Amino acid sequence: MKGCPSSSSRTLMDLFKQPAAKRLKRHSSPPLSPSSSSSKDASSLSASTLTSEERLKMEFNKALAKSKRNLKRCSDVVSKSTSKGIDGVGYVKLKELLVEETWLEVLPDELEKPYAEKLCKFVESEICSGSVPIYPPQNLIFNALNTTSFDRVKAVIIGQDPYHGPGQAMGLSFSVPNGVKVPSSLVNIYKELQQDLGCSIPSSGNLEKWAVQGVLLLNAVLTVRQYQANSHAKKGWELFTDAVIETISQKKRGVIFLLWGNYAQAKARLVDETKHHVLKAVHPSGLSANRGFFGCRHFSRTNQLLEKMGTSPIDWQL
């Protein structure tokens, strides 16, 4: 089972530190004839001789590159809007910020529905008023969906709303950007990972590596006012993210939902448990982690379930 490697083992990323020739070393085979040297044939041959680990790494890098392209698209749109805005404040409609094609295909016109139109107007008024900063930055509002494409979703970790301190929110539940102090809940998540799988505790709170592998880090509410937790609750975001969860439940099979705390566990009603797996524990906050989060072993259990289904496990080591 894929867990957290020891210091003497290779992580998934170590593979691509090797020289290309070593990574793509072919098994013995007869010489290629000149007619077989087309790029298509060469590509097929290379793919056929890759190990499962190498193929997994290629898929990861491809998904990472795609997520970076999505982020750049959002950043460019926001930058263009800001340059035209008053006092450097620009607003981009929400539907222009969800750019990952696989989600647009399975959630057709979701952001055109009446509730979403009201939500859009609310978020616009909040951002354009400029009186209180709104988090995360506009280009990161849909970061969870733009990073984890629908087709790659293996697991879902549900949060409540974004961190509300300056520089903390990055559109992925429980995650903070590199260089930002790791929040207490995430510290406890790391402690459980260490106990469960032997993962070393990282200095960064950036969980992007999980998201790219297929762990959808979804907050139920995707925006918040600075220092005002739940300030954008019950404005329409819950309807949208419920639609995301229901769509995963209806159109996929074998996804593991990690529901921590009462708020997240209430979302279990949206999941068809005859098709999917639901793991429940108390919230990893400092107030409750000792009452059942520590020892839940959700990370190893997730990988056991994935491997039982014939799906590659998550490399949880950051």
Q: Helix, strand, coil shares of the chain as percentages rounded to 5?
A: 50, 10, 45
- DSSP codes of every residue in 137-205: -GGGTTHHHHHS-GGG--EEEEESS---STTT--SSTT---TTSPPPHHHHHHHHHHHHHH-PPPPS--
What is the rounded radius of gyration, in angstroms, for the C-alpha atoms of the chain? 21
- Residue 58 belongs to what H/E stretch? helix 52-84
> Which of 41, 161, 196, 272 is the catalytic position?
161
87 is catalytic: no
Neighbours of 310 (CB within 10 A): 7
* Residue whose C-alpha is closest to residue 217's, from 195, 191, 194, 185: 185
Distance of CA 313 to the CA centre of its chain: 15
Report the C-alpha gap between 249 and 186 in whole angstroms.
26
User: How is residue 25 written in tokens?
Assistant: 């070393």
Residues designated as active site: 161
